[in-house]
Every structure is written in structure tokens, then in C-alpha cells.
Amino acid sequence: DIITEQATAAASGAAATEKFRGKQRTEGADVDTRRVDTLVSELLAAAHDIIRRHKVTYAEYDALKSWLIQVGQDGEWPLFLDVWLEHVVEEVAGEDREGSKGTIEGPYYVPDSPRLPAEATLPMRDGEEGTPLLFQGRVTGVDGTPLAGALVEMWHADNDGFYSQFAPGLPEWNLRGAVVADDQGNFKIHTIEPAPYQIPTDGSCGRLIAAAGWHAWRPAHLHLKVSAPGRQLITTQLYFKGGSHVSDDIASAVKPELILDPGPAAHGAGREVTYDFVLDKA
């Protein structure tokens, strides 16, 4: 008989924690002692100030302690940090960069997805649910030079809001691919429109959201990393005009430049949209 595995906060949290540990960006994070001193001291001073101003009680202190312990046990640190802090790190990192806007990466990127030609369909199941979407465009430099062979990596949730490798029962590379643009920097990616994403309600992040009376939603989004030799890689996300939670993303990662307005597909079913990427010099 068939046992349908449920998508749980602990399972997707464990996968996200595992993936993050394998990531290069964390290696050689040799942060200067004075910098650690300054940043951690100021973070603690901000916490001390909040405790004094709000007269935080021992009951509240213990609730915080037990919640912090549970976040780690659920593996939800990647989710928590990427939802509530990463947008400011990205804002600072992107301040001086020219070209297309970026936004946060989030916890569900996986490197080395299948390489695909300039016109391609993302790996998906037979009869994958969701509105077909043709996402096409061109990658250029700031001066308009086409970037031949630029790499357009895309990953996104399915029509139920689930990401492959983080929810059970999905093929390994479902809705993940690395498209190599043609000699004019052009690409055409056939996929389906993702559903909005709900933070798991059964984990620590979900418990915080319920306790604070917030909502748990991100608008439907496509994740992208676009890169070319001699250019700065951009990590971004694109949203859909009129979609739910475009104006109240829990992860604060929507920017006006990142909202798509697809029209009906010229050929076949579904919708299509053109979006060009402009990469700054490295």
C-alpha cells in the first residue's frame, strides 16, 4: 500500500540546514575580531534596550529560550533568517550595483541543476499541474552588449507551493534548471506558474507567526540566478502582478521592478512574458 509522506516543517528544515552546510559561501568566513566585537556588542545592546523599555518578564525570557532551542531542532534557522533578515543584507549588498535588481536567495536554492539549451522546458512531471508559462528574454551588459552563453538558473515551487528536494515525493530536479543563453544572450524557458508559498505552520517559524498574529505567505515567485563571465552574478525573484501577497510578502523581498505582467501565450496554452537581465561588470 502507498504511504503518502507529508511535507513537514522538520523535514524541509532539515533539508535546508543540510544544503546550507554544503555551501561554499560559509567556508573561510574569517571575520575580523574587531568586526565580531562591534556587531555582536551592538546586537546585544539592542536586545538589552528592548528588555528594559518593554520590561520583559522571566516568563517571556523563558518562552524565547525554549523557542530558540526549538528553531534549531526543527532545522528552521535557514528559513527564519532568510525570511526575516536576508532582505536587509541583500539591500546593503546590492546598493552600488548597476543593472537589474536583485532580491533574496531564500533557503531553497540547489546548485548544479540540469544544464539546458537556450530554449528549454524545466524538468517536470508528466501532466505537471499549473498554468503553462513561457519566460523569455535576453541577458546583456549595462551598455546593452548581448552576453553570449549567459547562464540563467531558475528554480521555483510547484502548483501546490512545494520545492523539489525540500518536500517529499517530488522528482529530484523538478522545476529546477540552468539554461544556457544563445550567442545573442537570448533564452526561452517553458515552465508552469508557481503557487504562493506558505511558511510551514507546524514548525517554529509557524508558531512565531501564529503567536504574533502575522500571516505566513510569500507571493508566487520565480527564483533566478543570472551570470556571465566578467559580470556580477545576480540573484533575484520575479512576482506576478495582481497575485496574492505581492504587497505584503512576509519575507519583504518584493520590489516594483520585479513584478511581471504576463499576457496570453502567442502559441499554445497559458501565458508568456519577456524580461531582460542587465548584468554589471565584475
Between vectors from CA 107 to CA 105 and to CA 110, what angle results, nearest 5°?
80
Closer residue to ligand MBD in complex, CB, 10/265? 10
Contacts with Fe ion, 56-95, as mask; x by CB under 5 A: ----------------------------------------
Per CB under 5 A, which region of 31-39, 91-99, 101-109, 248-256 contacts Fe ion? 101-109
Closer residue to ligand MBD in complex, CB, 173/197? 197
| Nearest residue to ligand MBD, by Cβ distance, number only | 106
> Which of Fe ion, ligand MBD, none lies near 80, with the C-beta cut-off 5 to 8 A by kind?
none
Closer residue to ligand MBD in complex, CB, 56/81? 81
CA distances from 121 to 109, 124, 191 (A): 19, 8, 6
C-alpha cell at 139: 541577458
Closer residue to Fe ion in complex, CB, 118/189? 189
Q: Which amino acid is at 204?
A: S
Q: Mark 257-278 as b/e (b = at least 16 C-beta within 10 Å).
A: ebbbebeebeeeebbbbebebb
Closer residue to ligand MBD in complex, CB, 118/157? 157
Residue 106 makes contact with Fe ion by CB under 5 A: yes
> Which of ligand MBD, Fe ion, none lies near 225, with the C-beta cut-off 5 to 8 A by kind?
none
Smallest gap from Cβ 175 to Fe ion, in A, equals 11
Rounded to a whole number of angstroms, the CA Rg of the chain reads: 20
Q: Which residues bind ligand MBD (CB under 6 A)?
A: 79, 82-83, 104, 106-108, 197, 218, 251, 253
Residue 118 per-residue DSSP state: S
> Which of Fe ion, ligand MBD, none lies near 251, with the C-beta cut-off 5 to 8 A by kind?
ligand MBD
Which segments of the chain does DSSP mark as H helices, in order? Answer: 9-21, 33-54, 58-73, 77-84, 86-94, 204-212
| Nearest residue to Fe ion, by Cβ distance, number only | 106
Measured between alpha carbons, how far is 247 from 215 in angstroms, rounded to an integer? 13
Measured between alpha carbons, how far is 210 from 212 in angstroms, rounded to an integer? 5
C-alpha cell at 31: 571575520
Measured between alpha carbons, how far is 224 from 68 in angstroms, rounded to an integer? 31
Measured between alpha carbons, how far is 93 from 25 in angstroms, rounded to an integer? 14
Smallest gap from Cβ 271 to Fe ion, in A, equals 20
Task: State the number of binding residues for Fe ion (CB under 5 A).
Answer: 1
Footprint on this chain of Fe ion (rule: CB under 5 A) = 106
